[in-house]
Amino acid sequence: MAFLWSLASLISLEGKGHYIHWHFIYLSVANFIVILLMVLVFLAALFVPFPGRASRKESK
Task: Give the residues lining the site for other proteins (CB under 8 A).
Answer: 34, 37-38, 41-42, 44-46, 48, 50, 52-53, 56-57, 60
- Shortest gap between Cβ of 35 and other proteins (angstroms)? 9
- Shortest gap between Cβ of 50 and other proteins (angstroms)? 5
Rounded-to-integer distance, Cα 39 and Cα 52, Å: 25
Residue type, 28: S
- Shortest gap between Cβ of 21 and other proteins (angstroms)? 19
CB 28 within 8 A of CB 34: no
Give 49's DSSP letter.
Answer: P
